[in-house]
C-alpha cells in the first residue's frame, strides 16, 4: 500500500472517535483525528448516570478523560472539518480539509456523529444564536432569571429543562405528543421543579423577535401522531427570552454519498464489524445505521472500528492480525472427556 502519512484518520471527536483513536494508537497505528469540536453531543450533556462503571459524571469531564487517553497513547489531533475523501490510485485515501493540508492515510474511521435537528418553525433560522439555541450546557450560564422554552420530549430535552431550571425564572417544556418519553429517573426529577411547566400535544410553529427571540406560537397537535391540527383559532403565544431545541439529530453525510453507501436516513451502512461498502473505510457511532444512539454504544463501536482497521492493515501487509478466537470444539471435547471419567 506504500508509505503513507497515517495508518488511520479518524473523522470525528465524539465518544466513538475518541475511543477509536485511543485503540488505534495503542495498536501502534499512526493515528490522526480530525474534528470540528471535542466530544460532540457528549460534551453538551450536563450529567450522565448511565455510563457503565461510573456512578455519575459530567459529559465534559468524561470527554476530557477520553481525550487525554487518546493523546497519551499517541493520537494526533487537528481541529477542523473534513470536506472530501478520495481513493488514491496507489492505495489508501486522501482526506481534504476546509482549511489545512490534506491528510494521506491507509484507512479511515468515520465517527463524526449527528447534527441537531431544526424545529422547522417560521423565524427559527433568523433568530439562531439570538435566543434560539441547540446546547443547554453551552448557553445555560446566560439564562439567569429568564423565561425559557425547551422543545422536545426525550432524555436530552428533559435533561436540558432540569439543567436550566435552577437558573431560570420559568421553564416551559414543550412536546408535540401526549407523553414525554424520557427515562423514569429524569421524569421523577422533573416533577420536583415547580418552575417547570409542561405543555403536551403542542408544536412550535413560529418564533418571533427582531434582534432577539421574544415569543413563540404554539399549535395543538394530534396527541398520538404529533401532527399539527388544522384549526388556526387554537394558536397560543408564549412570551419567552430563550428557546432550546432538543428534538434529536440527523446524519450530516451528504458529502459521503459517493464514498460509502447510505440508507434512506443518510446514515452510513455498516456491517456488524463496522465495515462500510468501501474497503479500508470503517464507521462507528451515531452516524451509522445502528439501533441505539448512546455514548456507551458509540464507545464500543469506536473500539471495534479501530480493531477492524488494524486487522485490515495487518492482512494487507501479509501479517497475522492478533485476534482472540475460542475453539468451542476443544472445550466440548474436554468436557466430554471429564464427564466420561470415573
Q: Are residues 129 and 103 in the same domain?
A: no
Q: Are residues 102 and 195 in the same domain?
A: no
Q: Are residues 237 and 280 in the same domain?
A: no
* Residue 77, Cβ density class (10 Å: 0-12 exposed, 13-18 middle, ≥19 buried): middle
Q: Residue 110: CA atoms inside 13 Å, Cβ hemisphere, count?
A: 35
Q: Report residue 134's pLDDT band, with 50, 70 and 90 as the boundaries.
A: confident
Q: Are residues 142 and 70 in the same domain?
A: no
Q: Are residues 223 and 129 in the same domain?
A: yes
Q: Are residues 237 and 146 in the same domain?
A: yes
Residue 53 lies in a domain: yes
Residue 183 lies in a domain: yes
Q: 78-114: per-residue pLDDT in tens? A: 998 899 999 999 899 999 998 889 999 999 999 998 8
Q: Are residues 294 and 182 in the same domain?
A: no
Q: Which CATH number is 67's domain given?
A: 3.50.50.60
The domain tally of the chain equals 2
- Give the burial string for 108-141 (b: 16+ CB within 10 Å, else e): bbbbbbbebeebebebbeebeeebbbbbbbebbe
Q: Are residues 296 and 278 in the same domain?
A: yes
pLDDT value at residue 259: 97
pLDDT value at residue 283: 98
pLDDT at 265 over 80: yes
Q: Are residues 140 and 240 in the same domain?
A: yes
Mean pLDDT of the chain: 90
* Distance in angstroms (rounded) separating the CA atoms of residues 71 and 86: 27
Residue 340 lies in a domain: no
pLDDT value at residue 328: 52
Q: 222-234: per-residue pLDDT in tens? A: 999 999 997 777 8
* Distance in angstroms (rounded) separating the CA atoms of residues 148 and 240: 6
Among candidates 31, 124, 135, which has minimal Cα distance to 76? 31
Residue 147 lies in a domain: yes
* Distance in angstroms (rounded) separating the CA atoms of residues 258 and 77: 26
Q: Are residues 222 and 302 in the same domain?
A: no
Residue 293 lies in a domain: yes
Residue 12: domain span: 6-115+249-316
Residue 324 lies in a domain: no
Residue 334 lies in a domain: no
pLDDT at 1 over 70: no
* Distance in angstroms (rounded) separating the CA atoms of residues 183 and 155: 6
Show which of 189, 216, 245 is a domain's final residue. Answer: 245
pLDDT value at residue 2: 42
Q: 155-186: per-residue pLDDT in tens? A: 989 999 998 999 999 999 999 999 999 999 99
* Distance in angstroms (rounded) separating the CA atoms of residues 160 and 171: 10
Q: Are residues 110 and 78 in the same domain?
A: yes
Q: Are residues 60 and 106 in the same domain?
A: yes
Amino acid at each position: 500500500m506504500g508509505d503513507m502519512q497515517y495508518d488511520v484518520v479518524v473523522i470525528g471527536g465524539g465518544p466513538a472517535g475518541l475511543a477509536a483513536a485511543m485503540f488505534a494508537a495503542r495498536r501502534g497505528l499512526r493515528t490522526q483525528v480530525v474534528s470540528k469540536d471535542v466530544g460532540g453531543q457528549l460534551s453538551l450533556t450536563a450529567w450522565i448516570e448511565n455510563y457503565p462503571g461510573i456512578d455519575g459524571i459530567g459529559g465534559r469531564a468524561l470527554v476530557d478523560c477520553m481525550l487525554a487517553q487518546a493523546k497519551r497513547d499517541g493520537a494526533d489531533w487537528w481541529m477542523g472539518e473534513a470536506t472530501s475523501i478520495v481513493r488514491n490510485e496507489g492505495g489508501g485515501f486522501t482526506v481534504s480539509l476546509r482549511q489545512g493540508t490534506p491528510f494521506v492515510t491507509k484507512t479511515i474511521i468515520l465517527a463524526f456523529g449527528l447534527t441537531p435537528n431544526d424545529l422547522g418553525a417560521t423565524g427559527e433560522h433568523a433568530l439562531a444564536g439570538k435566543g434560539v439555541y441547540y446546547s443547554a450546557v453551552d448557553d445555560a450560564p446566560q439564562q439567569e432569571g429568564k423565561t425559557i422554552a425547551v422543545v422536545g420530549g426525550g432524555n436530552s430535552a428533559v435533561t436540558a429543562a432540569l439543567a436550566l431550571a435552577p437558573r431560570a425564572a420559568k421553564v416551559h417544556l414543550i412536546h408535540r405528543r401526549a407523553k414525554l418519553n424520557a427515562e423514569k429517573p429524569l421524569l421523577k426529577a422533573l416533577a420536583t421543579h415547580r418552575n417547570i411547566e409542561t405543555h403536551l400535544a403542542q408544536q412550535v410553529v413560529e418564533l418571533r423577535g427582531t434582534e432577539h427571540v421574544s415569543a413563540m406560537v404554539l399549535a395543538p397537535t394530534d396527541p398520538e401522531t404529533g401532527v399539527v391540527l388544522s384549526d388556526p383559532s387554537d394558536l397560543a403565544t408564549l412570551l419567552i427570552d430563550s428557546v432550546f431545541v432538543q428534538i434529536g439529530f440527523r446524519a450530516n453525510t451528504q458529502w459521503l454519498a459517493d464514498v460509502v453507501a447510505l440508507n434512506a436516513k443518510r446514515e452510513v451502512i455498516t456491517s456488524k464489524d463496522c465495515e462500510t461498502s468501501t474497503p479500508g473505510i470503517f464507521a462507528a457511532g451515531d452516524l451509522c445505521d445502528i439501533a441505539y444512539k448512546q455514548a456507551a454504544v458509540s464507545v464500543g463501536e469506536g473500539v471495534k472500528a479501530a480493531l477492524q482497521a488494524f486487522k485490515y492493515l495487518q492482512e494487507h501487509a501479509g501479517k497475522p492480525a492478533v485476534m482472540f478466537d475460542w475453539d468451542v470444539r476443544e472445550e466440548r471435547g474436554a468436557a466430554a472427556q471429564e464427564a466420561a471419567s470415573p
